Structure 1
Amino acid sequence: MKRLISALAALLLAVGVQAATIEDHSATANGVQLHYLQAGAGSDTPVVLLHGYAETSHMWLPLMDQLADRRVVIAPDLRGAGGSAKPDGVYDKKTLAQDVHALVKGLGHRKVKIVGHDIGLMVAYAYAAQYPDEVERIVLMDAFLPGVGDWKSVWLLRDLWHFHFHGQTALQLVQGRERIYFEHFWNDFAADRTHSLSEADRQFYTAAYAQPGGMKAGFGYFKAFEQDAADFAGFARTPLKQPMLVLTGEKASGNFLIEQARLVDGKVEGVVVKGSGHWLMEEAPAQTIPRLVDFLNRR
Protein backbone atom coordinates (compact mmCIF):
# COMPACT_ATOMS: atom_id res chain seq x y z
CA MET A 1 0.00 0.00 0.00
CA LYS A 2 2.72 2.52 0.95
CA ARG A 3 4.47 1.80 -2.36
CA LEU A 4 1.27 2.61 -4.30
CA ILE A 5 0.68 5.80 -2.31
CA SER A 6 4.26 6.88 -3.08
CA ALA A 7 3.68 6.18 -6.78
CA LEU A 8 0.62 8.43 -6.75
CA ALA A 9 2.60 11.19 -5.05
CA ALA A 10 5.35 10.90 -7.68
CA LEU A 11 2.82 11.13 -10.49
CA LEU A 12 1.20 14.24 -9.03
CA LEU A 13 4.56 15.91 -8.53
CA ALA A 14 5.49 15.13 -12.14
CA VAL A 15 2.53 17.19 -13.34
CA GLY A 16 3.19 19.99 -10.89
CA VAL A 17 0.71 19.11 -8.15
CA GLN A 18 1.83 18.94 -4.52
CA ALA A 19 0.48 15.65 -3.19
CA ALA A 20 -0.94 15.38 0.30
CA THR A 21 0.73 13.01 2.74
CA ILE A 22 -1.51 9.94 3.00
CA GLU A 23 -0.75 7.62 5.88
CA ASP A 24 -1.70 4.02 6.70
CA HIS A 25 -3.21 3.36 10.13
CA SER A 26 -5.02 0.63 12.01
CA ALA A 27 -7.38 0.78 14.98
CA THR A 28 -9.88 -1.38 16.82
CA ALA A 29 -13.41 -0.04 16.38
CA ASN A 30 -16.64 -1.72 17.47
CA GLY A 31 -14.56 -4.80 18.30
CA VAL A 32 -13.10 -5.08 14.77
CA GLN A 33 -9.61 -4.19 13.56
CA LEU A 34 -9.96 -1.60 10.78
CA HIS A 35 -7.28 -0.41 8.40
CA TYR A 36 -7.69 3.19 7.24
CA LEU A 37 -5.94 5.87 5.23
CA GLN A 38 -5.71 9.37 6.64
CA ALA A 39 -4.55 12.68 5.22
CA GLY A 40 -4.84 16.37 5.86
CA ALA A 41 -5.37 18.78 8.71
CA GLY A 42 -7.39 21.91 9.32
CA SER A 43 -10.51 23.23 10.96
CA ASP A 44 -13.08 22.13 8.38
CA THR A 45 -15.33 19.19 9.22
CA PRO A 46 -13.57 15.85 8.60
CA VAL A 47 -14.60 13.84 5.56
CA VAL A 48 -15.10 10.05 5.67
CA LEU A 49 -14.84 8.12 2.38
CA LEU A 50 -16.39 4.64 2.11
CA HIS A 51 -15.47 2.29 -0.75
CA GLY A 52 -17.66 -0.27 -2.47
CA TYR A 53 -17.42 -3.90 -3.53
CA ALA A 54 -14.47 -5.04 -5.66
CA GLU A 55 -12.49 -2.05 -4.36
CA THR A 56 -10.96 -0.80 -1.09
CA SER A 57 -9.95 2.55 0.43
CA HIS A 58 -7.34 2.67 -2.35
CA MET A 59 -10.02 3.98 -4.74
CA TRP A 60 -10.11 7.31 -2.90
CA LEU A 61 -6.43 8.30 -3.22
CA PRO A 62 -7.01 10.95 -5.96
CA LEU A 63 -9.89 12.52 -4.02
CA MET A 64 -8.06 12.52 -0.70
CA ASP A 65 -5.35 14.62 -2.26
CA GLN A 66 -7.94 17.19 -3.36
CA LEU A 67 -9.69 17.39 0.02
CA ALA A 68 -6.78 17.30 2.45
CA ASP A 69 -5.87 21.00 2.20
CA ARG A 70 -8.36 22.12 4.85
CA ARG A 71 -9.45 19.13 6.93
CA VAL A 72 -8.75 15.57 8.01
CA VAL A 73 -9.79 12.95 5.45
CA ILE A 74 -10.36 9.36 6.55
CA ALA A 75 -10.84 6.40 4.19
CA PRO A 76 -11.32 3.08 6.00
CA ASP A 77 -11.38 -0.39 4.56
CA LEU A 78 -14.78 -1.72 5.55
CA ARG A 79 -14.94 -4.77 7.76
CA GLY A 80 -14.08 -7.70 5.49
CA ALA A 81 -12.10 -5.72 2.91
CA GLY A 82 -8.49 -4.74 2.24
CA GLY A 83 -6.38 -4.52 5.37
CA SER A 84 -9.29 -4.74 7.80
CA ALA A 85 -10.30 -7.84 9.75
CA LYS A 86 -12.53 -10.39 8.06
CA PRO A 87 -14.61 -11.97 10.83
CA ASP A 88 -17.30 -14.54 10.18
CA GLY A 89 -20.89 -13.45 10.52
CA VAL A 90 -22.22 -9.91 10.49
CA TYR A 91 -22.01 -7.80 7.32
CA ASP A 92 -25.24 -5.81 7.40
CA LYS A 93 -24.70 -2.15 6.59
CA LYS A 94 -26.10 -0.87 9.89
CA THR A 95 -23.32 -2.74 11.71
CA LEU A 96 -20.65 -1.65 9.23
CA ALA A 97 -21.76 1.94 9.84
CA GLN A 98 -21.36 1.37 13.58
CA ASP A 99 -17.79 0.20 12.90
CA VAL A 100 -17.01 3.41 11.04
CA HIS A 101 -18.72 5.55 13.68
CA ALA A 102 -16.65 3.92 16.43
CA LEU A 103 -13.50 4.61 14.38
CA VAL A 104 -14.44 8.26 13.89
CA LYS A 105 -15.24 8.72 17.58
CA GLY A 106 -12.01 6.98 18.56
CA LEU A 107 -10.08 9.47 16.43
CA GLY A 108 -11.70 12.30 18.36
CA HIS A 109 -14.18 13.53 15.75
CA ARG A 110 -17.90 14.07 16.21
CA LYS A 111 -19.28 15.83 13.14
CA VAL A 112 -18.33 14.48 9.70
CA LYS A 113 -19.20 14.74 6.05
CA ILE A 114 -19.55 11.27 4.57
CA VAL A 115 -19.22 9.84 1.06
CA GLY A 116 -20.02 6.31 -0.10
CA HIS A 117 -19.78 4.47 -3.41
CA ASP A 118 -21.60 1.19 -4.15
CA ILE A 119 -21.78 -0.86 -0.90
CA GLY A 120 -20.15 2.16 0.74
CA LEU A 121 -23.15 4.36 -0.05
CA MET A 122 -25.34 1.92 1.89
CA VAL A 123 -22.98 2.21 4.85
CA ALA A 124 -22.93 6.01 4.50
CA TYR A 125 -26.73 6.15 4.53
CA ALA A 126 -26.91 3.81 7.55
CA TYR A 127 -24.37 6.07 9.32
CA ALA A 128 -26.43 9.21 8.67
CA ALA A 129 -29.68 7.49 9.62
CA GLN A 130 -28.29 6.26 12.94
CA TYR A 131 -26.30 9.41 13.80
CA PRO A 132 -28.17 12.23 12.01
CA ASP A 133 -26.88 14.98 14.29
CA GLU A 134 -23.29 13.98 13.54
CA VAL A 135 -23.43 14.17 9.73
CA GLU A 136 -23.29 17.59 8.06
CA ARG A 137 -23.36 16.42 4.43
CA ILE A 138 -23.72 13.09 2.67
CA VAL A 139 -22.83 11.84 -0.81
CA LEU A 140 -24.23 8.68 -2.39
CA MET A 141 -22.47 7.38 -5.51
CA ASP A 142 -24.00 4.89 -7.94
CA ALA A 143 -25.78 1.84 -6.59
CA PHE A 144 -29.08 1.70 -4.72
CA LEU A 145 -30.65 1.66 -1.26
CA PRO A 146 -32.12 -1.75 -0.35
CA GLY A 147 -35.63 -1.52 1.05
CA VAL A 148 -36.35 2.00 -0.24
CA GLY A 149 -39.08 2.54 -2.84
CA ASP A 150 -39.20 0.16 -5.80
CA TRP A 151 -35.66 -1.01 -5.13
CA LYS A 152 -36.15 -4.46 -6.62
CA SER A 153 -36.54 -2.89 -10.08
CA VAL A 154 -33.05 -1.37 -10.02
CA TRP A 155 -30.88 -2.16 -13.05
CA LEU A 156 -28.37 -4.10 -10.97
CA LEU A 157 -30.96 -6.84 -10.48
CA ARG A 158 -30.04 -8.04 -13.95
CA ASP A 159 -27.20 -9.55 -11.92
CA LEU A 160 -29.43 -11.03 -9.24
CA TRP A 161 -27.35 -14.20 -9.27
CA HIS A 162 -24.44 -12.62 -7.43
CA PHE A 163 -26.68 -11.39 -4.61
CA HIS A 164 -27.14 -15.08 -3.78
CA PHE A 165 -23.64 -16.23 -4.71
CA HIS A 166 -22.21 -17.31 -1.37
CA GLY A 167 -21.52 -20.45 0.59
CA GLN A 168 -18.96 -23.23 0.22
CA THR A 169 -19.59 -23.98 -3.46
CA ALA A 170 -19.22 -20.33 -4.47
CA LEU A 171 -16.01 -20.03 -2.49
CA GLN A 172 -14.56 -23.14 -4.14
CA LEU A 173 -15.49 -21.85 -7.59
CA VAL A 174 -13.67 -18.53 -7.18
CA GLN A 175 -10.62 -19.73 -5.23
CA GLY A 176 -7.61 -18.93 -7.39
CA ARG A 177 -9.95 -17.36 -9.96
CA GLU A 178 -10.80 -14.18 -8.07
CA ARG A 179 -9.81 -11.92 -10.94
CA ILE A 180 -12.08 -13.76 -13.40
CA TYR A 181 -14.98 -13.11 -11.03
CA PHE A 182 -14.14 -9.43 -10.49
CA GLU A 183 -13.56 -8.77 -14.19
CA HIS A 184 -17.30 -9.20 -14.66
CA PHE A 185 -17.98 -6.21 -12.40
CA TRP A 186 -15.09 -4.04 -13.60
CA ASN A 187 -15.94 -4.67 -17.27
CA ASP A 188 -19.69 -5.15 -17.48
CA PHE A 189 -20.64 -2.39 -15.04
CA ALA A 190 -18.50 0.12 -16.96
CA ALA A 191 -19.76 2.15 -19.90
CA ASP A 192 -16.66 1.00 -21.80
CA ARG A 193 -14.71 -1.98 -20.46
CA THR A 194 -11.54 -0.59 -22.06
CA HIS A 195 -11.91 2.62 -20.01
CA SER A 196 -12.61 1.22 -16.58
CA LEU A 197 -10.17 0.29 -13.81
CA SER A 198 -6.46 0.30 -14.61
CA GLU A 199 -4.41 -2.88 -14.81
CA ALA A 200 -2.52 -1.88 -11.65
CA ASP A 201 -5.76 -1.38 -9.75
CA ARG A 202 -7.15 -4.71 -10.96
CA GLN A 203 -4.08 -6.48 -9.65
CA PHE A 204 -4.24 -4.56 -6.37
CA TYR A 205 -7.91 -5.34 -5.66
CA THR A 206 -7.62 -8.97 -6.75
CA ALA A 207 -4.80 -9.49 -4.25
CA ALA A 208 -6.75 -7.68 -1.54
CA TYR A 209 -9.84 -9.88 -1.86
CA ALA A 210 -7.83 -13.06 -2.37
CA GLN A 211 -6.53 -12.78 1.20
CA PRO A 212 -7.83 -15.46 3.61
CA GLY A 213 -11.47 -14.72 4.36
CA GLY A 214 -11.69 -11.92 1.79
CA MET A 215 -14.07 -13.52 -0.70
CA LYS A 216 -16.31 -14.94 2.02
CA ALA A 217 -16.57 -11.50 3.60
CA GLY A 218 -17.30 -9.90 0.24
CA PHE A 219 -20.12 -12.37 -0.39
CA GLY A 220 -21.40 -11.43 3.06
CA TYR A 221 -22.16 -7.88 1.91
CA PHE A 222 -24.77 -9.29 -0.48
CA LYS A 223 -26.01 -12.04 1.81
CA ALA A 224 -27.03 -9.27 4.24
CA PHE A 225 -29.28 -7.44 1.76
CA GLU A 226 -32.48 -8.89 3.23
CA GLN A 227 -31.55 -7.50 6.64
CA ASP A 228 -30.42 -4.23 5.04
CA ALA A 229 -33.78 -3.84 3.29
CA ALA A 230 -35.63 -4.24 6.59
CA ASP A 231 -33.29 -1.80 8.35
CA PHE A 232 -33.44 0.81 5.60
CA ALA A 233 -37.23 0.66 5.34
CA GLY A 234 -37.28 1.57 9.02
CA PHE A 235 -34.67 4.32 8.62
CA ALA A 236 -36.62 5.86 5.72
CA ARG A 237 -39.58 6.58 8.00
CA THR A 238 -37.49 9.41 9.48
CA PRO A 239 -36.19 11.49 6.53
CA LEU A 240 -32.71 12.96 6.71
CA LYS A 241 -32.37 16.74 6.84
CA GLN A 242 -28.77 17.35 5.76
CA PRO A 243 -27.76 18.28 2.20
CA MET A 244 -27.21 15.21 0.03
CA LEU A 245 -25.39 14.91 -3.28
CA VAL A 246 -26.19 11.90 -5.45
CA LEU A 247 -23.80 11.07 -8.30
CA THR A 248 -24.79 8.33 -10.72
CA GLY A 249 -23.45 6.96 -13.97
CA GLU A 250 -25.50 7.64 -17.09
CA LYS A 251 -24.85 4.06 -18.21
CA ALA A 252 -25.41 2.64 -14.71
CA SER A 253 -28.03 3.57 -12.10
CA GLY A 254 -29.04 6.78 -13.91
CA ASN A 255 -31.95 8.53 -12.22
CA PHE A 256 -32.95 5.58 -10.06
CA LEU A 257 -30.71 6.33 -7.08
CA ILE A 258 -31.59 10.03 -7.28
CA GLU A 259 -35.29 9.16 -7.05
CA GLN A 260 -34.62 6.81 -4.13
CA ALA A 261 -32.60 9.48 -2.34
CA ARG A 262 -35.49 11.92 -2.55
CA LEU A 263 -37.58 9.43 -0.60
CA VAL A 264 -35.16 9.60 2.34
CA ASP A 265 -33.86 13.21 2.26
CA GLY A 266 -35.50 16.52 1.42
CA LYS A 267 -32.31 18.30 0.27
CA VAL A 268 -31.06 16.17 -2.61
CA GLU A 269 -28.86 17.47 -5.42
CA GLY A 270 -28.80 14.82 -8.13
CA VAL A 271 -26.21 14.63 -10.92
CA VAL A 272 -26.05 12.03 -13.68
CA VAL A 273 -22.43 11.75 -14.82
CA LYS A 274 -22.53 11.73 -18.61
CA GLY A 275 -20.98 8.82 -20.44
CA SER A 276 -19.99 6.97 -17.28
CA GLY A 277 -20.87 3.56 -15.95
CA HIS A 278 -20.68 2.45 -12.33
CA TRP A 279 -17.00 3.24 -11.68
CA LEU A 280 -17.32 7.02 -11.45
CA MET A 281 -13.92 7.72 -9.90
CA GLU A 282 -12.12 5.75 -12.59
CA GLU A 283 -14.33 6.31 -15.66
CA ALA A 284 -15.09 10.00 -15.23
CA PRO A 285 -12.70 11.62 -12.73
CA ALA A 286 -12.83 14.99 -14.51
CA GLN A 287 -16.57 15.19 -13.87
CA THR A 288 -16.73 13.35 -10.54
CA ILE A 289 -13.89 14.77 -8.45
CA PRO A 290 -14.69 18.49 -8.96
CA ARG A 291 -18.36 17.84 -8.08
CA LEU A 292 -17.33 16.08 -4.88
CA VAL A 293 -14.83 18.75 -3.89
CA ASP A 294 -17.32 21.58 -4.52
CA PHE A 295 -20.08 19.91 -2.50
CA LEU A 296 -17.83 18.90 0.40
CA ASN A 297 -16.17 22.31 0.61
CA ARG A 298 -19.49 24.09 1.09
CA ARG A 299 -20.41 25.20 4.58
Structure 2
Amino acid sequence: MTHENIPFRSYRLRDGRLAYRRSTAAGAKQAVLLLHGWPQTSWAWRRVIPLLRQQFDVIAPDLPGFGDSSKPESGFDKKNVARKLHELVEGLGIEKVAIVGHDLGGHVAYAYAAQWPEAVSHFVFAESSLPTFGQEEAMDVSRGGSWHFGFNMAGDISEALVEGREFLFVNHFVRRETVGVFDPDSISNDDVNVYARALARPGALRCSFSYYRTLPLDRQDNLIWGKTPLSMPALSIGAQWGYGPASAQTLRRVATNVSEIVFDDCGHYVPEEQPVKFAKALSEFISNGTA
Protein backbone atom coordinates (compact mmCIF):
# COMPACT_ATOMS: atom_id res chain seq x y z
CA MET A 1 0.00 0.00 0.00
CA THR A 2 1.35 3.44 -0.93
CA HIS A 3 0.89 6.62 1.05
CA GLU A 4 -1.62 7.90 -1.52
CA ASN A 5 -3.83 4.83 -0.96
CA ILE A 6 -4.14 5.55 2.76
CA PRO A 7 -7.22 7.76 3.09
CA PHE A 8 -7.30 10.96 5.10
CA ARG A 9 -9.56 10.80 8.11
CA SER A 10 -10.89 13.59 10.28
CA TYR A 11 -11.16 13.64 14.06
CA ARG A 12 -13.39 16.17 15.78
CA LEU A 13 -11.65 17.74 18.76
CA ARG A 14 -13.30 19.74 21.52
CA ASP A 15 -12.05 22.85 19.72
CA GLY A 16 -11.36 22.01 16.11
CA ARG A 17 -10.51 19.16 13.81
CA LEU A 18 -7.42 17.10 13.07
CA ALA A 19 -6.80 15.46 9.72
CA TYR A 20 -4.71 12.30 9.88
CA ARG A 21 -3.72 9.16 8.03
CA ARG A 22 -3.75 5.82 9.79
CA SER A 23 -2.44 2.52 8.52
CA THR A 24 -2.30 -0.59 10.68
CA ALA A 25 -0.50 -3.89 10.29
CA ALA A 26 -2.56 -6.97 11.03
CA GLY A 27 -2.24 -7.74 14.73
CA ALA A 28 -0.10 -4.68 15.45
CA LYS A 29 0.10 -3.89 19.17
CA GLN A 30 2.45 -0.91 19.03
CA ALA A 31 1.15 2.48 17.87
CA VAL A 32 3.50 5.04 16.33
CA LEU A 33 2.58 8.73 16.14
CA LEU A 34 4.48 10.65 13.44
CA LEU A 35 4.69 14.45 13.83
CA HIS A 36 5.95 16.39 10.83
CA GLY A 37 8.08 19.53 10.85
CA TRP A 38 7.81 23.03 9.43
CA PRO A 39 6.80 24.10 6.81
CA GLN A 40 5.43 20.68 5.94
CA THR A 41 2.40 18.46 6.41
CA SER A 42 1.93 14.74 6.96
CA TRP A 43 3.02 14.39 3.31
CA ALA A 44 6.54 14.41 4.77
CA TRP A 45 5.95 10.80 5.90
CA ARG A 46 4.80 9.54 2.48
CA ARG A 47 7.80 7.20 2.10
CA VAL A 48 7.98 6.14 5.74
CA ILE A 49 4.37 5.13 6.42
CA PRO A 50 4.31 2.26 3.89
CA LEU A 51 7.44 0.82 5.53
CA LEU A 52 6.31 1.17 9.14
CA ARG A 53 2.78 -0.05 8.48
CA GLN A 54 4.16 -3.55 7.90
CA GLN A 55 4.80 -3.78 11.63
CA PHE A 56 3.00 -1.01 13.53
CA ASP A 57 -0.24 0.93 13.90
CA VAL A 58 0.89 4.20 12.27
CA ILE A 59 -0.87 7.55 12.77
CA ALA A 60 0.34 10.63 10.90
CA PRO A 61 -1.67 13.82 11.51
CA ASP A 62 -1.43 17.23 9.95
CA LEU A 63 -0.47 19.33 12.98
CA PRO A 64 -3.08 21.91 14.05
CA GLY A 65 -2.98 24.81 11.58
CA PHE A 66 -1.25 22.76 8.87
CA GLY A 67 -2.58 20.92 5.84
CA ASP A 68 -6.18 19.74 6.18
CA SER A 69 -6.40 20.33 9.93
CA SER A 70 -8.29 23.29 11.41
CA LYS A 71 -6.75 26.78 11.39
CA PRO A 72 -7.46 28.07 14.93
CA GLU A 73 -6.92 31.68 15.92
CA SER A 74 -4.70 30.83 18.89
CA GLY A 75 -3.31 28.00 21.00
CA PHE A 76 -0.02 27.27 19.24
CA ASP A 77 2.12 26.89 22.32
CA LYS A 78 3.35 23.32 22.21
CA LYS A 79 1.63 22.39 25.47
CA ASN A 80 -1.73 23.09 23.85
CA VAL A 81 -0.85 21.52 20.50
CA ALA A 82 0.26 18.37 22.31
CA ARG A 83 -3.03 18.35 24.22
CA LYS A 84 -4.93 18.15 20.93
CA LEU A 85 -2.79 15.27 19.72
CA HIS A 86 -3.27 13.46 23.02
CA GLU A 87 -7.02 13.93 22.59
CA LEU A 88 -6.75 12.33 19.14
CA VAL A 89 -4.75 9.37 20.43
CA GLU A 90 -7.15 8.77 23.31
CA GLY A 91 -10.10 9.15 20.96
CA LEU A 92 -8.65 6.41 18.76
CA GLY A 93 -8.58 4.12 21.78
CA ILE A 94 -4.79 4.01 22.04
CA GLU A 95 -3.28 3.92 25.53
CA LYS A 96 0.41 4.27 24.69
CA VAL A 97 2.34 5.45 21.62
CA ALA A 98 5.87 5.65 20.35
CA ILE A 99 6.09 9.32 19.41
CA VAL A 100 8.32 10.54 16.59
CA GLY A 101 8.88 14.26 16.06
CA HIS A 102 10.86 15.78 13.20
CA ASP A 103 11.98 19.43 13.30
CA LEU A 104 9.15 21.48 14.85
CA GLY A 105 7.30 18.22 15.42
CA GLY A 106 10.05 17.44 17.92
CA HIS A 107 8.94 20.42 20.01
CA VAL A 108 5.40 19.06 20.07
CA ALA A 109 6.57 15.51 20.74
CA TYR A 110 8.53 16.71 23.76
CA ALA A 111 5.53 18.62 25.12
CA TYR A 112 3.47 15.44 24.70
CA ALA A 113 5.99 13.16 26.41
CA ALA A 114 6.66 15.64 29.22
CA GLN A 115 2.95 15.95 30.04
CA TRP A 116 1.94 12.29 29.61
CA PRO A 117 5.11 10.23 30.10
CA GLU A 118 3.07 7.19 31.11
CA ALA A 119 1.40 7.28 27.69
CA VAL A 120 4.66 7.29 25.69
CA SER A 121 6.54 4.04 25.19
CA HIS A 122 9.38 5.46 23.08
CA PHE A 123 10.48 8.98 22.18
CA VAL A 124 12.22 9.82 18.89
CA PHE A 125 13.69 13.28 18.32
CA ALA A 126 14.73 13.79 14.68
CA GLU A 127 16.69 16.86 13.54
CA SER A 128 15.16 19.08 16.19
CA SER A 129 15.96 21.43 19.05
CA LEU A 130 14.15 22.86 22.06
CA PRO A 131 13.83 26.34 23.56
CA THR A 132 15.90 26.48 26.77
CA PHE A 133 17.93 23.43 25.74
CA GLY A 134 20.00 24.59 22.78
CA GLN A 135 17.63 26.21 20.32
CA GLU A 136 18.75 29.70 21.28
CA GLU A 137 22.02 29.07 19.45
CA ALA A 138 20.15 28.07 16.29
CA MET A 139 18.21 31.34 16.52
CA ASP A 140 21.29 33.55 16.91
CA VAL A 141 22.13 34.83 13.42
CA SER A 142 25.30 36.51 14.75
CA ARG A 143 26.65 33.01 15.40
CA GLY A 144 25.45 31.38 12.21
CA GLY A 145 21.87 30.68 13.28
CA SER A 146 18.94 30.86 10.87
CA TRP A 147 17.17 34.14 10.11
CA HIS A 148 13.79 32.48 9.73
CA PHE A 149 13.17 32.29 13.49
CA GLY A 150 13.01 36.07 13.80
CA PHE A 151 11.19 36.48 10.50
CA ASN A 152 8.49 34.00 11.44
CA MET A 153 8.01 35.73 14.80
CA ALA A 154 7.80 39.24 13.33
CA GLY A 155 4.01 39.59 13.06
CA ASP A 156 1.74 40.55 10.18
CA ILE A 157 4.65 41.56 7.95
CA SER A 158 5.68 37.89 7.70
CA GLU A 159 2.40 36.85 6.11
CA ALA A 160 2.32 39.94 3.87
CA LEU A 161 5.76 39.18 2.42
CA VAL A 162 5.19 35.46 1.86
CA GLU A 163 1.58 35.49 0.61
CA GLY A 164 1.54 34.54 -3.06
CA ARG A 165 5.19 33.40 -2.84
CA GLU A 166 4.65 30.19 -0.88
CA PHE A 167 6.52 28.01 -3.39
CA LEU A 168 9.53 30.34 -3.36
CA PHE A 169 9.48 30.38 0.44
CA VAL A 170 9.27 26.61 0.94
CA ASN A 171 11.71 25.86 -1.86
CA HIS A 172 14.29 28.13 -0.22
CA PHE A 173 14.29 26.09 2.98
CA VAL A 174 14.30 22.78 1.20
CA ARG A 175 17.21 23.67 -1.08
CA ARG A 176 19.34 26.02 1.01
CA GLU A 177 23.00 25.14 1.46
CA THR A 178 22.79 24.53 5.21
CA VAL A 179 20.03 22.49 6.85
CA GLY A 180 18.41 21.77 3.49
CA VAL A 181 18.39 18.58 1.43
CA PHE A 182 21.61 16.76 0.60
CA ASP A 183 20.00 14.80 -2.25
CA PRO A 184 18.21 17.39 -4.43
CA ASP A 185 15.97 14.71 -5.96
CA SER A 186 14.61 13.52 -2.61
CA ILE A 187 12.07 16.36 -2.52
CA SER A 188 10.73 17.21 -5.95
CA ASN A 189 9.12 20.43 -7.12
CA ASP A 190 5.81 18.57 -6.97
CA ASP A 191 6.46 17.83 -3.30
CA VAL A 192 7.30 21.46 -2.64
CA ASN A 193 4.04 22.37 -4.34
CA VAL A 194 2.14 20.15 -1.89
CA TYR A 195 3.56 22.17 1.00
CA ALA A 196 3.19 25.50 -0.81
CA ARG A 197 -0.46 24.89 -1.63
CA ALA A 198 -1.11 23.94 1.98
CA LEU A 199 0.47 27.20 3.18
CA ALA A 200 -1.62 29.17 0.68
CA ARG A 201 -4.87 28.14 2.35
CA PRO A 202 -6.65 30.83 4.35
CA GLY A 203 -5.07 31.16 7.78
CA ALA A 204 -2.29 28.64 7.13
CA LEU A 205 0.63 31.10 7.05
CA ARG A 206 -0.56 32.75 10.25
CA CYS A 207 -0.85 29.36 11.93
CA SER A 208 2.57 28.15 10.78
CA PHE A 209 4.26 31.34 11.98
CA SER A 210 2.36 31.13 15.27
CA TYR A 211 4.32 28.02 16.15
CA TYR A 212 7.34 30.35 16.31
CA ARG A 213 5.58 33.28 17.93
CA THR A 214 4.77 31.08 20.92
CA LEU A 215 8.39 30.00 21.50
CA PRO A 216 8.68 32.27 24.58
CA LEU A 217 5.75 30.38 26.14
CA ASP A 218 7.39 27.07 25.22
CA ARG A 219 10.58 28.20 26.89
CA GLN A 220 8.71 28.73 30.16
CA ASP A 221 7.08 25.31 29.95
CA ASN A 222 10.35 23.60 29.02
CA LEU A 223 12.08 25.13 32.02
CA ILE A 224 9.55 23.40 34.25
CA TRP A 225 9.39 20.08 32.38
CA GLY A 226 13.17 19.87 32.12
CA LYS A 227 13.41 19.46 35.88
CA THR A 228 11.96 15.96 35.44
CA PRO A 229 13.91 14.26 32.64
CA LEU A 230 12.10 11.81 30.39
CA SER A 231 12.79 8.23 31.42
CA MET A 232 11.37 6.23 28.50
CA PRO A 233 13.81 5.01 25.81
CA ALA A 234 14.73 8.01 23.67
CA LEU A 235 16.43 8.16 20.28
CA SER A 236 18.01 11.14 18.55
CA ILE A 237 18.28 11.02 14.77
CA GLY A 238 20.56 13.62 13.22
CA ALA A 239 21.94 14.20 9.75
CA GLN A 240 25.47 14.96 8.62
CA TRP A 241 24.31 17.96 6.58
CA GLY A 242 21.61 18.99 9.01
CA TYR A 243 21.84 19.40 12.77
CA GLY A 244 24.40 16.63 13.07
CA PRO A 245 24.97 15.76 16.76
CA ALA A 246 23.10 18.85 18.04
CA SER A 247 19.77 17.01 18.36
CA ALA A 248 21.38 14.42 20.63
CA GLN A 249 23.01 17.14 22.71
CA THR A 250 19.58 18.68 23.26
CA LEU A 251 17.90 15.36 23.97
CA ARG A 252 20.45 14.42 26.61
CA ARG A 253 19.51 17.55 28.53
CA VAL A 254 15.88 16.43 28.87
CA ALA A 255 16.06 12.60 28.87
CA THR A 256 18.07 9.96 30.72
CA ASN A 257 17.98 6.93 28.41
CA VAL A 258 19.27 8.26 25.08
CA SER A 259 20.55 6.53 21.95
CA GLU A 260 21.93 8.44 18.98
CA ILE A 261 22.20 8.02 15.21
CA VAL A 262 23.63 10.49 12.69
CA PHE A 263 22.96 9.63 9.05
CA ASP A 264 25.80 10.32 6.63
CA ASP A 265 25.14 11.96 3.24
CA CYS A 266 21.80 13.27 4.43
CA GLY A 267 20.32 16.70 5.00
CA HIS A 268 17.73 18.02 7.41
CA TYR A 269 14.70 16.29 5.88
CA VAL A 270 15.67 12.77 6.93
CA PRO A 271 12.29 11.02 6.51
CA GLU A 272 12.17 12.15 2.89
CA GLU A 273 15.85 11.73 2.03
CA GLN A 274 16.55 8.38 3.67
CA PRO A 275 13.17 6.79 4.41
CA VAL A 276 14.41 3.19 4.37
CA LYS A 277 17.18 3.86 6.89
CA PHE A 278 14.86 6.05 8.92
CA ALA A 279 12.12 3.41 9.09
CA LYS A 280 14.66 0.70 9.89
CA ALA A 281 16.09 2.77 12.73
CA LEU A 282 12.60 3.37 14.14
CA SER A 283 11.64 -0.30 13.83
CA GLU A 284 14.76 -1.53 15.60
CA PHE A 285 14.55 1.12 18.31
CA ILE A 286 10.86 0.59 19.05
CA SER A 287 11.20 -3.19 18.95
CA ASN A 288 14.36 -3.39 21.08
CA GLY A 289 14.49 -0.11 22.98
CA THR A 290 17.92 0.70 21.51
CA ALA A 291 19.18 1.98 18.15
TM-score (normalised: structure 1): 0.88
Q: Which amino acid aligns with 2:150?
A: F
1:212 aligns to what SS in structure 2? coil
Residue 4 of structure 2 is matched in structure 1 by 5
Give the Cα separation in 1 of the matches to 2:14 and 2:82: 10
1:116 aligns to what SS in structure 2? strand
- Residue 85 (structure 2) pairs with residue 97 (structure 1): no
2:235 aligns to what SS in structure 1? strand
Task: Give the number of aligned pairs.
Answer: 282
Shift of 1:181: 1.1
Residue 127 of structure 1 is matched in structure 2 by 112
Give the Cα separation in 2 of the matches to 1:92 and 1:229: 10
Give the Cα separation in 2 of the matches to 1:24 and 1:244: 29
The Cα offsets for residues 185-211 of structure 1, whole Å up to 9 and x where unpaired, read as 111122537244112211111111111
The structure with more helix, counted as a fraction of residues? 1
Off by >4 Å, runs of 4+ in structure 1: none
Give the Cα separation in 2 of the matches to 1:99 and 1:163: 26
Gap change, CA 1:145 and 1:44, over 3 Å in 2:
same
Equivalent of 2:18 in 3, 10, 34:
34
Equivalent of 2:216 in 204, 226, 248:
226
1:46-65 alignment runs, 5 A limit: 46-65=31-50
Further displaced range: 23-32 or 197-206: 23-32
- Residue 149 (structure 2) pairs with residue 162 (structure 1): yes
Shift of 1:97: 0.6
Q: Which amino acid aligns with 1:59?
A: A
Q: How much is the aligned-residue C-alpha RMSD, in angstroms?
A: 2.0
Equivalent of 1:197 in 178, 187, 204:
187
Further displaced range: 94-103 or 43-52: 43-52
- Residue 66 (structure 2) pairs with residue 78 (structure 1): no
Given that 2:9 and 2:21 are in contact with CA atoms closer than 8 Å, whether structure 1 keeps it comes out as yes
Give the Cα separation in 2 of the matches to 1:193 and 1:71: 28
Given that 1:190 and 1:276 are in contact with CA atoms closer than 8 Å, whether structure 2 keeps it comes out as no
Q: Which amino acid aligns with 1:234?
A: I
Give the Cα separation in 2 of the matches to 1:155 and 1:216: 20
2:205 aligns to what SS in structure 1? helix
- Residue 170 (structure 2) pairs with residue 182 (structure 1): yes
Q: Which amino acid aligns with 1:160?
A: W
Give the Cα separation in 2 of the matches to 1:60 and 1:141: 13
TM-score (normalised: structure 2): 0.91
Q: Which amino acid aligns with 1:276?
A: C
The Cα offsets for residues 54-104 of structure 1, whole Å up to 9 and x where unpaired, read as 111111122211222343211111100000001112211111110100000
**Unmatched tracts of structure 1, length 5 or more:** 7-21
